Structure 1
Amino acid sequence: MPTDRSTLPSDAIAHHWGAGPTPGYDALAARFRPVFARIRAGSVEREIERRLPVEEIEWLRRAGFTALRVPHWSDANGVTLPELFALLVELSEADSNLTQALRAHFGFVEHALAKPPARRDVWLNRLAEGQIVGAAWSETGDAKQANFSTVLSQGENGWRLNGTKFYTTGSLYANWIHVGASDAQGAPVSVTIDRKARGVEVLDDWDGMGQRLTASGTSRFIDVPVDENEIVADGPPFAYSEAFYQLVHLATLAGIGRALASDVAAALATRKRGYSHAAAPLPANDPQLLEIAGRLRANAYSAGAIVRLAAVALERAAAFSGETTDDALLAVTQAELEIWQAQTVVSQLVLDATTDAFDALGASATLRSAGLDRYWRNARTITSHNPRVYKDRIVGDFAVNGKLPPGQWRIGQV
């Protein structure tokens, strides 16, 4: 066996984050990596200018990325969930804004796969054409946990939707919007409406400190016409939805960790300035700084490995899609537990890395033109969406008392 590693392609190894989830993953990913590279090349400029990634999402749509899970017309299935989440990590490495902007869309694809056959075919055709779906569920202010303030009602002119939503992530980029509402009796329902329908207004008013380009602001619905076929009674959009949506966040964090680790390593490799009391004249040879760079890479690798394993659990749950058996419920519950256990760990790995990076690079890394602050801002914002503070308690309650996760959750006033 050769022992001289000096001839190995170090650049290829530097971009290696472990084996893909399936033997065919690298061939699949190769279709999208040129698009990811183009997206990453403009990520800092977009962030500084606050330029919404409309063009970049179009690149992904044209490449077929938004239809990854849609079964191909050759009767073969679309990509597996482990493959999808590995690709989402790679997209997040390019720009985490785009992953979050498409989070609702990928969730809706799972929802469409679980629909009754007639509506399933309608939606799979639309999704295969590259149509994108956003979401509008959360409400702010005095909205209640028990029901939505957004109301679906029926009158002489058919079904109409009225209300205001916030955190309507990705809807500005979408062709359709999946909306949570209450019917006339106060029972929760969901509807899917045309993004361009009369009475729909989607605002670019998201002013969060992170994930600034996700279009996660306000959507208003004023007497919006609703197709009766698109009204669905209350219940999770698909059985493993809670676990799915949370794992998208974790994949996004893992991608942020990778991008940060690569940026810090590249900066240290070329930096000529150093402190007089440093351990070596050049930062690239300073063992203390190398330790930080190594820790960032290890954190990113670990986050990605956790996401990869959790996606396997999600795939097992998805295999029972549409079933109501005990085995199906068990698979969903197991997936939720795995992902809840992963949430606080992945979050901390990436948050720690986004802070420690500045110890390796010094004050110049805080310049706005460097764009490194976006990694902390984005990671901190993502970890706030579904508060991790509750997840350790939920997992601990299971470990000690055998209490299972609560399933679908809501936010609002009691």
Structure 2
Amino acid sequence: MTSKIEIKLEDAQNIPRDFYQQESLAHVIRSDEEAIQVAKTLAVEFAKEASQRDYQRQLPLREVQQYSASGLWGITIPKQFGGAGVSYKTLAEVVKIISSADSSLGQIAQNHWAFLEHIRLDASLEQQEFFFAQVLQGKRFGNAFSEKGSKTVADLTTKIEFKDGHAVINGQKFFATGALLAHWIPVVAVSEEGKPFAALVPQHTPGLTIVNDWSGFGQRTTVSGSVHLNNVQVDLKYIVPIHQAFERPTAAGAISQFIQSAIDAGIARGAIDETIAYVRAHARPWIDSGLEQASQDPYTIANIGELKIKLRAAEAVLALAGEAIDQALLNPTEETVSEATLITAESKVLTTEIALLAANKLFELSGTRSTLSELNLDRHWRNARTHTLHDPVRWKLNIVGNYYLNDVLPPRHAWS
């Protein structure tokens, strides 16, 4: 691994090129059980300086290298291509474990896993063999999907023009989580016919500029900034027709939302753990309680119980969503895909609620001293508030209600 490098907001695009070079091939994980154990081991290390990285907006360069070298970024690759083909229930557990330690790290890999499913669904066999092998070797996918300033999230202005033997892309992206730290940047661009394609652009391609101008108050070290594309040429063998994933019933949309839900559950888990630790070690009992320790306060005890119960409920529905996704992958029909989408939407509602509740209760139960800036405990609330803004929960309630009340199937796209 490279030595620790500090990259600040204003000069993040100057990451040295040797950051993208690997000292050895990534480990290949073989089972669900191994994936969870590897995640637990990494989380212990990731948690040590998570607060410092957030406080200083210090990008997790060493940690990202460790993360992808561990093999976790390749665990959803099908077994026939050399991966572990873990269940989505297992992927959720991995994401929760990492996100509870550092939710920015949890999010950096989010779109990598989501895009792996598009490769499985939409890419040619030759493309699958090539890109799955790349990931198993330790290569990372970034994200250049969304844009800002358009009428809706689905209104893309980035264009792809097909030439003889290559394509040319022009446009600008934002919310490009992890792109700066990736080896390949999947860029979603629309053709003259209005169909979206993904062009996998190698890092350092001429005309590709990635700027870490993400200034959000939460998820500070996700590198969710801008990608500028100025006449970027991409070989046709790196173009994937991702529009096909939503022209038939597939779990692609549910998977995208599922991983986000798992991150929020991880944020909640981390906030609750922090609350328990602080109350035990630092919080004072209220003057009228007559108690020696804050941890003996019956109201505090009840609040911790409420948080744990609601977290367990959210995680249980998330696990059900993972099982529904696995079924939809085995048998992709309108019925199985709708079931996966609906349960995932239900999990997103519950994980959002517990993430925000847990982050708020952290301060309510810990007391005024817990707000001191040097403790940086507010990172849990900032991260929860920021990440849960993905795809409004009020529309998840609408999707579920419209299905059960009016028999309206969930829409087919990555935001449902």
TM-score range, shorter chain: 0.7 to 0.9
**Is 1:332 the counterpart of 2:340 in the alignment?**
no
Contact 1:98 1:214 in 2 (8 A): yes
Q: 5 Å matches for 1:45-194?
A: 45-71=52-78, 77-114=84-121, 115-142=123-150, 147-154=155-162, 158-194=166-202
* CA positional deviation for 1:252: 0.8
Given the superposition, is the C-alpha separation of residues 143 and 179 from structure 1 closer, same or farther in structure 2, using an over 3 Å criterion?
farther
Q: Which sits farther off after the overlay, 234-243 or 250-259? A: 234-243
Q: Which residue of structure 2 aligns with residue 217 of structure 1? A: 225
Residues 224-256 of structure 1, C-alpha deviations (whole Å, 9 max, x = no match)? 111112223351657212111111111111111
In the other structure, the counterpart of 2:40 is 33
Counterpart of 1:345 in structure 2 is 350
User: Where does structure 2 lack aligned partners over 5 or more consecutive residues?
Assistant: 1-30
Change (3 A) 1:340 1:153: same
C-alpha RMSD of matched pairs (Å): 2.3
Change over 3 Å in CA distance of 1:105–1:163 after alignment to 2: same
How many Å apart are 1:30 and its aligned residue? 2.0
SS of match in other structure, 1:70: coil
Name which of structure 1's ranges 74-83 and 64-73 shifts more when overlaid on structure 2.
74-83
Does 2:292 match 1:281?
yes
Q: In the alignment, is the contact (CA less than 8 A) between 1:147 and 1:187 conserved in 2?
A: no
In the superposition, relative to structure 1, how do residues 67 and 286 fare at CA in structure 2: closer, same or farther (>3 Å)?
same
Q: Distance in 2 between matches of 1:406 and 1:279?
A: 56
The two structures have a TM-score, normalised by structure 1, of: 0.86
> 2:372 maps to what in 1?
367
Contact kept, 8 Å, 1:191 with 1:226, in 2: the verdict is yes
Aligned to 1:268: 279
Q: Which residue of 1 aligns with 2:363?
A: 358
Shift of 1:38: 0.4
8 Å CA contact 1:306, 1:346 repeated in 2: no
Give the aligned residue type for 1:87. V
| Compared CA separation, residues 156 and 34, structure 1 to 2 (3 A) | closer
Alpha-carbon separation, structure 1, partners of 2:166 and 2:252: 30
Q: CA deviation at 1:137?
A: 1.6
**Distance in 2 separating the partners of 1:236 and 1:284:** 55
Please state if 1:294 is matched with 2:339.
Answer: no
Question: What TM-score does the superposition give when structure 2 sets the normalisation length?
Answer: 0.86
Counterpart for residue 381 of structure 2: 376
Q: Tell me, what secondary structure is at the counterpart of 1:82?
A: helix
> Is the 8 Å Cα contact of residues 103 and 219 (structure 2) preserved in structure 1?
yes
Aligned-partner Cα distance in 2 for 1:71–1:154: 31
Deviation at 1:204, TM superposition (A): 0.6
Report how far residue 158 of structure 1 moved. Answer: 4.2
2:272 alignment partner, SS class: helix
- Do residues 408 (structure 1) and 413 (structure 2) align? yes
Q: Conserved in 1, the CA contact under 8 Å of 2:76 and 2:83?
A: no
Give % identity.
28
